[in-house]
Structure 1
Amino acid sequence: MNRGRGLDSYRRELGVDPVASAGAGGWLDLCCGSGRALIEAAGLVGDVPLVGVDLVDCFAPSAGRVDLLVASLSDWETDGRFDLITCVHGLHYVGDRLGLLARAATWLAEDGLLVADFDAAAVRDPSGQPWGRRLTGALRAAGFDYDSRRRRVSLRGGRDVRLPYAYLGADAAAGPNYTGQEAVHAHYAFVATP
């Protein structure tokens, strides 16, 4: 969960320095919680876009340099192109997390970086079994890197991504995930890529 994480926590969790990675295109933080990390970054970066999106309005007070938005990531869109897009322990609660990853890939600048916590075991087939290596292979074929030990997905460079999965729905009663927090399992059918 990401309610009050600051910059140091992001560095440890994601293995990147958000301040160094938020170039002129800025930083988009999905499931930003209180927005504390973005607010801390505002005092350290130049005049670059800093945008946070979360489902719940529990944002820390900010001086106005950070755009904190309340929205569901199921259908939220942006025209921005960011040098950095992050999601710390937020995809665990998103139903169509593969759809969000594909959309987020289009929000990256040409050499931008997307990095997020991602538990591949919570992406299930119609019978409820994890897609496993077939899923991680499809992610890699689409240009993503997946670190199974850290449960982290990343992508360098904006692009259109087509993953061979159709979202069927989510199981909100999945129970705790590897972090100990309640999470959802996302169910997908395998489909031929268009």
Structure 2
Amino acid sequence: MPTDPVLLDDLTLEQSSVVANNAMNRGRGLSGVNSYARELGFDPYEVLAERLRADPTARVTWIDVCCGSGRALLEAEERFDREFPTADVAIIGLDLVDFFLNKPRTPRLRLLTTSATAWRPPREADLVTCVHGLHYIGDKLALIESMTSWMTPSGHFAADFDPSEIRCPDGSPATTAVVDAVRAAGLTYHRRRHQVRGHGRPTFAATFLGADPTAGPGYTGQPAVVSYYEW
């Protein structure tokens, strides 16, 4: 008979080897074959650059959660420095592990070693992304609520997300309830890409019970955390 999983809270989960790893998102750049542009379906730099080309006095902000080595953000910092040297640009990367590729060259970029679950942004963001990070989060739904609340009214959110990693207390998937809440908020769930994106701010009628880091690999083939909720 299979035994019930031992569910961990967020603080305990962050100390586990599955979550506190230095192998996630280390080599992904901004554009090209292994890149944010390929994974997300758009180039984050170009999204913000278009706003600055339309209005050079605009203030633009990009927050990337679970940024890994920060390679994509460092490349974006360099491109903004070349094309928009005087623009008001803020790029913020968050990761649980301090394994950044390089230090920021300018004050425009901040690479922070911190838990995204308790962090709050210094200003609203035009773009909030999370590339293959939610797989390692315990209370995934609370983080989605937080990340979408960080946006400006016209901001855009995009994150890799597998709703089958959300479970009911008996272990059954809560996929339908999650996708319904996402769509009701005006976000789009792309099943083929396993991605949630858009401008909405969802509210999930669920209570986080804990997470199981021993559930095995997710759709990426890498270990993933399964999160349990009372609905």
- TM more than 0.5: yes
| CA deviation string 1:12-45 (max 9, x = no partner) | 1001110122353221110000111010001222
1:49 matched to 2:49: no
Say whether 1:6 aligns with 2:32: no
- Kindly provide the CA deviation profile for residues 82-132 of structure 1, in whole angstroms up to 9, marking residues without a partner as x: 111111100000001110110111110111101010011101111111112
Deviates more, 1:17-26 or 1:4-13: 17-26
Query: Is this contact kept in 2: 1:84–1:108, CA < 8 A?
Result: yes
1 CA distance for matches of 2:171 and 2:186?
26
Aligned match of 2:42: 16
Q: Confirm or deny: 8 A CA contact 1:73 1:100 kept in the other structure.
A: yes
Equivalent residue number for residue 86 of structure 1: 129
* 1:105–1:155 contact (8 Å) kept in structure 2: no
For 2:27 and 2:61, the matched residues in 1 are separated by 21
User: Percent sequence identity over matched residues?
Assistant: 47
Q: Which residue of 1 aligns with 2:139?
A: 96
Q: Is 180-189 or 74-83 further displaced after alignment?
A: 74-83
What is the alpha-carbon distance in structure 2 between the residues aligned to residue 13 and residue 144 of structure 1? Answer: 18
* Mapping of residues 1-194 of structure 1, within 5 Å: 1-8=24-31, 9-22=35-48, 23=51, 24-45=59-80, 46=84, 47=87, 48-61=89-102, 62-64=104-106, 65-156=108-199, 159=201, 161-190=202-231
Unmatched segments (≥5 aa) in structure 1: none
User: What is the deviation of 1:143?
Assistant: 2.0
In 1, the alpha carbon distance for the partners of 2:99 and 2:63 equals 17
Deviations 1:27-76 (A, max 9, x none): 11100001110100012223400100000000111313410001112211
Q: TM-score, normalised by structure 2?
A: 0.78
Mark the structure with the bigger radius of gyration.
Answer: 2
Displacement of 1:155 in angstroms is 2.4
Contact kept, 8 Å, 2:167 with 2:228, in 1: the verdict is yes
TM normalised by structure 1 equals 0.92
Specify the code of the residue in structure 2 equivalent to 1:63.
Answer: R
Instruction: Give secondary structure in 1 for the equivalent of 2:112.
Output: strand
RMSD: 1.3
